[in-house]
Amino acid sequence: MKQDIRALSLEELRAFFIAKGDQAFRGNQVYQWLWQKGIHDFERMTNLSIDVRQLLEDNFSINHIAIDTQQKSTDGTIKNAVRLHDELVVESVLIPTTTRTTACVSSQVGCSLDCTFCATSRLKRMRNLNPDEIYDQVMAMDQQSRLYFNKPLSNIVFMGMGEPLMNYNNVVAAIEKITAPSGMGVSAKRITLSTSGVPKMIKKLAEEYPKFKLAVSLHSARQEVRQNIMPFADKFPLEDLLDSLQFWYETTNSRITFEYVVWEGINDTQEDIQALVDYCQKVPSKVNLIQYNSIGEDRFQQAPKAVVELYQKVLEANGIVATIRRSRGSDIDAACGQLANKSQA
């Protein structure tokens, strides 16, 4: 099998051309085609001679993603089924509002965690995405954003399939390219990593990449409740999570966003609300109360509006910012927790 050219750094590409008796800057030209222009065909690298293009063809492949299908929601949200070079599929979602377009990116095929309310956790096959497979999703959605909404992407959220902190190295390698001037040049402040809460990796991220935004899928601030709906939380208890979040804040000075769904009979009592207030008071944070998107499990039913509003009222009375978020793209199964490659079934 030929080597994937995009696994090479700029330096390695330059060295390749020197080794072939050509000049180093040829490496820069190729790098630009690959990463700034997003070209996935050596034929289209038009400032290279036919011989050079042939040399590349003989030595390398470009394992680019392909967008298999695109679905559009009545609210403008676009869901892409993204086919990888080994025929596995992930999904990515472009979400327009009047002021922004946000790309929701996948980091794994399937997920390494087991949240019981999330459709992605039901998928069997699992592998990590490579840095370039993550980068390609962002690049493809930037092009869609320009095409359909006449503006470049404004924000990137790692809230698609997978747990980004369980694929740390590849996710940060992709973000390095997304933020690099020689890549897409997106500001780190516009990138949010969402995690179910892996304390050790949150600390590592704080130390290495303090500029990103951090979101944590909390859903309950009571250990026994959380563990019941997010079984992996058994290994990563709320106490350790809190410790890592305090470290995050001390290191980055940036507050955390908690994502939180309120379900009937699961986390809808006064005690649940109070536990969340107590938790939020221990670390600078705000709460996004997100709508539950049904994945057809009887156990989970969205709590009535009045309960969600009560959550908001009590949080705000305690000085914690809380926003009630409506769902986007649910008519095409593109909303939070609904990504499950259904169009492939």
Among 133, 163, 272, 333, binds ligand SAH (CB under 6 A): 163
For position 217 contacting ligand SAH by CB under 6 A, the verdict is yes
- By the rule CB under 6 A, 30 interacts with ligand SAH: no
- Report the alpha-carbon distance of residue 143 to residue 38 in Å, rounded: 10
292 binds ligand SAH, rule: CB under 6 A: yes
Task: Please check whether residue 86 is in contact with residue 78, taking contact to mean a CB–CB distance below 8 angstroms.
Answer: no
Task: Check residue 293 for interaction with ligand SAH (CB under 6 A).
Answer: yes
Which residue lies nearer to ligand SAH by CB, 56 or 103?
103
d(Cα 57, Cα 150) in Å, to the nearest integer?
A: 35
Residues between 55 and 74 with contacts to ligand SAH, criterion CB under 6 A? none
Binds ligand SAH by CB under 6 A, chosen from 30, 88, 118, 320: 118
Is position 15 an interface residue for ligand SAH (rule: CB under 6 A)?
A: no
Residue placing its CB nearer to ligand SAH in the complex, 63 or 330? 330
- 336 has catalytic annotation: yes
DSSP 88-118: -EEEEEEEE-SS-EEEE---EES-SS--TT-
Sheet holding 66-72, edge to edge: 66-72, 78-83, 89-96, 101-104, 155-158, 191-195, 213-217, 256-260, 285-290, 322-325
Shortest separation between residue 293's beta carbon and ligand SAH, angstroms: 4
Q: Determine which one of 111, 115, 118, 336 is catalytic.
A: 336
Tell whether residue 337 is a contact of ligand SAH (CB under 6 A): yes
Which listed residue (12, 57, 91, 309) is catalytic?
91
- 5, exposed or middle or buried, with CB in 10 Å at 0-12, 13-18, 19+? buried
Scanning 65-73, 114-122, 171-179, 309-317 for contacts with ligand SAH by CB under 6 A, the matching segment is 114-122
Place of tokens 């025929």: 87
Q: Residue 261 in contact with residue 292, Cβ under 8 Å?
A: yes
Give whichever of 130 and 194 is closer to ligand SAH, judged by the CB atom.
194
What are the φ/ψ torsions at residue 209 (nearest 5 degrees)? -135, 65
Q: Is 261 in the site for ligand SAH (CB under 6 A)?
A: yes
Instruction: Tell whether residue 194 is a contact of ligand SAH (CB under 6 A).
Output: yes
Residue with tokens 């630009």, as numbered in its chain:
32
Residues near ligand SAH (CB under 6 A) are 115, 117-118, 159, 163, 194-196, 217, 259, 261, 290, 292-293, 295, 336-337
* Residues designated catalytic: 91, 336
